[in-house]
Structure 1
Amino acid sequence: MYHQLIRVHRFRFSFLLLSGLVFLLTWPCYSQSSFARTGKVERIKVHGKGLEGNLAGDSPDRDVSIYLPPSYGTDKNRRYPVIYFLHGFTDSDDKWYGLTKHWISLPAVVDKALAEGKTKEFIIVTPNAYNRYFGSMYSNSATIGNWEDYVATELVAYIDKNYRTIPQASSRGLAGHSMGGYGTMRIGQKHPEIFSSLYLLSPCCMIPSLNGPTNPEMAAKLEGVKTQAELEKADFFTKAMFASAASWSPNPTNAPFYVDLPVKDGQPQPMVTARWAANAPLATLDQYVSNIKQLHALAFDAGSKDESIAANIKILDGMLTNYKIPHTYEEYDGDHLNRIAERIEQKMLPFFTSNLVFEVRKKR
């Protein structure tokens, strides 16, 4: 009888232990797969030689947020494709990476896509392009420094040297939202030798206004900003005008902002607006058709309620179609922000999963 009781208790203990293990392995909050599919975020500083001496006085040592995929810490011999993701105007890398409260957390979106099997693993890199003017437009300028070169050459070189990347264009993607979408097209159409695939999410600034702030009230507001403190308090449109001027119409003799605005003494400045137009991807696309044809894949989208941007990417679709350049274009039901996380999860990440190369190609 005593031995029978012992056997019963042992059976019950074993059953409870097994049940507990099954519970831990199957309950979503504690499952092995849940732990295994969570990436890691690092935030580092990457110096930009081309950002040194910028007239705005911004540091050339830039914060950079990096998402390392779940297997990066355990599979020490594995190398990964990289997506360089560019944030939007007035945003910063820490906001997108869940380090500061924001409307999106990119790591959470990627982790969700991995858990649902919608994407392969990537390293994702985002530099902090927030500056004195609230955004760099990812352009080269004496006023803000050479941001285009920083992203395309200096940052890529640093990441390849310090992380287990697959250091080849076929394994590098470039993407971004809003100002970052603009930067993606601007940089990507010039550098197919660095980035092979591009995804533009609601890209801004594809066709800058050729007339500038012609409304007298807007012009007066723009010219009324005399100090940095006043610029900090300005509305979004005014800030965007200063950022555009700092990026596309710098003036090293015009302190304190070192820019030429598109209006002076209430009058439009045609030369300034011409300089802005020369930086519009839709105006320059014809010059880079041979480069764009070298890209492996190109996709872009925008919400239908984001009317001006949706209209501009429809023009981009038409231009690429005329040149018989393969691409993916979609206008969906949404605005500038409300479905971006969903688009990244369901469209952007699968796009790069399908189009980037996941192994090192041997040189011939």
Structure 2
Amino acid sequence: MKTIGVSALAILFAVFLPSSAVSQTASTKKGTVERIKVHGKGLEGNLSGDSPDRDVSVYLPPSYKTDKNRRYPVLYLLHGFTDNADQWYGFTRHWINLPEVVDKAFADPAVREMIIVTPNAYTKFFGSFYSNSVTTGNWEAYVAQELVGYIDSHYRTLANAASRGLTGHSMGGYGTIRIGQKYPEIFSSIYLLSPCCMSANLAANRNEAAAARMEVIKSMEELEKADFGTKAAFSTAAAWAPNPTKPPFYLDLPVKDGQPQPGILVKMAANAPLAVIDQYISNLKKLHAIAFDAGSKDVGIAASNKVLDSVLNDYQIKHTYEEYEGDHINRIGERIEKKVLPFFSENLSFDQPRRR
């Protein structure tokens, strides 16, 4: 993964401005990050054995600590496959420094401050896909209900759908539309960053060698050493084709003895947002704002985005769609700063509750 470089602008200010001015500017523009634990009742007893007590990173904007009477909209940001929240928030080696990106965005007076929340959805299968499964736990419900309820009860939030947004990258983009189209009463606006897994794939694996690699994996230790594609195959199977009678993985793969398994492929395909989007049109119409994008070099995902754009146009659902010059990860920090946060600044409600 790539890391985001620190701007040399601070060095320039240090040379030409008094030290007190530098300190004041820096302190007033930096938010704070808390890492908390949020228990998931629906994650209890998952067959993978992952803890239901999940790390959650919470970004509090610069004014949160000083403006004690103010309440804030909340943006829920979902990370991608093989990522974790710590990598996004700087608690460990990271490919994106989200607090730095957000601080930079909020330095623009046109971008209004909000709380940002990211649950750590890294599992023994390298990612939850934000789906409900006995194997990995009920992640969809955890994000939309349990996590939202906890944040509203522990932070100064504007606890209504109009003031809640949902976004995510890659697997997180998938989770954004999966959850967003089911819970318009919880989230009012969604933004998909390079969303994966949008289209149904009824071919088990066109690469016979890759299919064979799936079947030789017999333990978690072997899976941890496998290639990215094999890990993704197991992870999506755990999310979408769980099987409580098949330890140690508790899932059904889409191939068996080298042969495609039609029943399992149908289960997997039924979790592709573009395969079921017609069932959720009324919910999508309830959303206040929808946006999605992908890099032009991210070919498969860009193609799925074009289909999503076409479907929403057919149903006359207002949305914003963009294909930009880039690949799957190289401009995500920039997109969050320049596109995602301004989008939610414009579309979320910042109205403060009336005092009685």
Both proteins in one fold, TM over 0.5: yes
**Pairing 1:226–2:218 present:** yes
Task: Provide the residue aligned with 2:184 in structure 1.
Answer: 192
Mean CA deviation greater in 203-212 or 191-200: 203-212
Matches for 1:290-301 after TM superposition, within 5 Å: 290-301=282-293
Equivalent in 104, 112, 123 of residue 131 of structure 1: 123
Report the Cα distance in structure 2 between the residues aligned to 1:254 and 1:166, rounded to whole angstroms. Answer: 44
**Pairing 1:23–2:18 present:** yes
AA paired with 2:312?
L
Kindly provide the CA deviation profile for residues 229-268 of structure 1, in whole angstroms up to 9, marking residues without a partner as x: 1000000000000000000000000110000000001100
Report the Cα distance in structure 1 between the residues aligned to 2:173 and 2:17, rounded to whole angstroms. Answer: 45
In the TM superposition, residue 117 of structure 1 has moved relative to its aligned partner by 3.3
Report the Cα distance in structure 2 between the residues aligned to 1:153 and 1:223, rounded to whole angstroms. Answer: 36
Gaps of 5+ in 2: 1-15
AA paired with 1:135?
G
Equivalent residue of 2:56, what SS? Answer: strand
Identity of aligned residues (%): 67
Mean CA deviation greater in 345-354 or 209-218: 209-218
Q: Do 1:80 and 1:165's aligned partners in 2 also have CA atoms closer than 8 Å? A: yes
In the TM superposition, residue 214 of structure 1 has moved relative to its aligned partner by 3.4
**Pairing 1:237–2:221 present:** no
Equivalent in 26, 29, 34 of residue 26 of structure 2: 34
Task: Provide the residue aligned with 1:15 in structure 2.
Answer: none
Report the Cα distance in structure 1 between the residues aligned to 2:302 and 2:23, rounded to whole angstroms. Answer: 42
Report the Cα distance in structure 2 between the residues aligned to 1:361 and 1:171, rounded to whole angstroms. Answer: 12
Equivalent residue of 2:18, what SS? Answer: helix
Equivalent residue of 1:284, what SS? Answer: helix
Task: Provide the residue aligned with 2:279 in structure 1.
Answer: 287
Kindly provide the CA deviation profile for residues 25-58 of structure 1, in whole angstroms up to 9, marking residues without a partner as x: 54xxx24232101000000000000000000000
In the TM superposition, residue 23 of structure 1 has moved relative to its aligned partner by 1.8
How many residue pairs get matched? 341
Q: Do 1:176 and 1:199's aligned partners in 2 also have CA atoms closer than 8 Å? A: yes
Kindly provide the CA deviation profile for residues 64-108 of structure 1, in whole angstroms up to 9, marking residues without a partner as x: 000000111111111000000000000000000011111101110
Report the Cα distance in structure 2 between the residues aligned to 1:31 and 1:322, rounded to whole angstroms. Answer: 53
In the TM superposition, residue 114 of structure 1 has moved relative to its aligned partner by 1.4
Task: Provide the residue aligned with 2:61 in structure 1.
Answer: 69
Q: Do 1:186 and 1:281's aligned partners in 2 also have CA atoms closer than 8 Å? A: yes
**Pairing 1:339–2:325 present:** no
Kindly provide the CA deviation profile for residues 300-326 of structure 1, in whole angstroms up to 9, marking residues without a partner as x: 000000000000000000000000000
Report the Cα distance in structure 2 between the residues aligned to 1:213 and 1:22, rounded to whole angstroms. Answer: 60
Report the Cα distance in structure 1 between the residues aligned to 2:208 and 2:174, rounded to whole angstroms. Answer: 28
AA paired with 2:93?
K
Q: Do 1:34 and 1:115's aligned partners in 2 also have CA atoms closer than 8 Å? A: no
Task: Provide the residue aligned with 2:7 in structure 1.
Answer: none
Report the Cα distance in structure 2 between the residues aligned to 1:118 and 1:63, rounded to whole angstroms. Answer: 31
In the TM superposition, residue 218 of structure 1 has moved relative to its aligned partner by 1.1
Mean CA deviation greater in 30-39 or 54-63: 30-39
In the TM superposition, residue 208 of structure 1 has moved relative to its aligned partner by 3.6
Equivalent in 173, 176, 180 of residue 168 of structure 2: 176
Larger-Rg structure: 1
Report the Cα distance in structure 2 between the residues aligned to 1:73 and 1:35, rounded to whole angstroms. Answer: 12
Q: Do 1:118 and 1:345's aligned partners in 2 also have CA atoms closer than 8 Å? A: no
**Pairing 1:114–2:106 present:** yes
Report the Cα distance in structure 1 between the residues aligned to 2:286 and 2:20, rounded to whole angstroms. Answer: 47
Report the Cα distance in structure 2 between the residues aligned to 1:113 and 1:184, rounded to whole angstroms. Answer: 22
AA paired with 2:58?
I
Report the Cα distance in structure 2 between the residues aligned to 1:261 and 1:93, rounded to whole angstroms. Answer: 28
AA paired with 1:107?
P
**Pairing 1:326–2:326 present:** no
Kindly provide the CA deviation profile for residues 250-303 of structure 1, in whole angstroms up to 9, marking residues without a partner as x: 000011000000000110001111001111100111000000000000000000
Matches for 1:6-17 after TM superposition, within 5 Å: none
TM-score for both structures, normalised by structure 2:
0.93
Matches for 1:74-89 after TM superposition, within 5 Å: 74-89=66-81
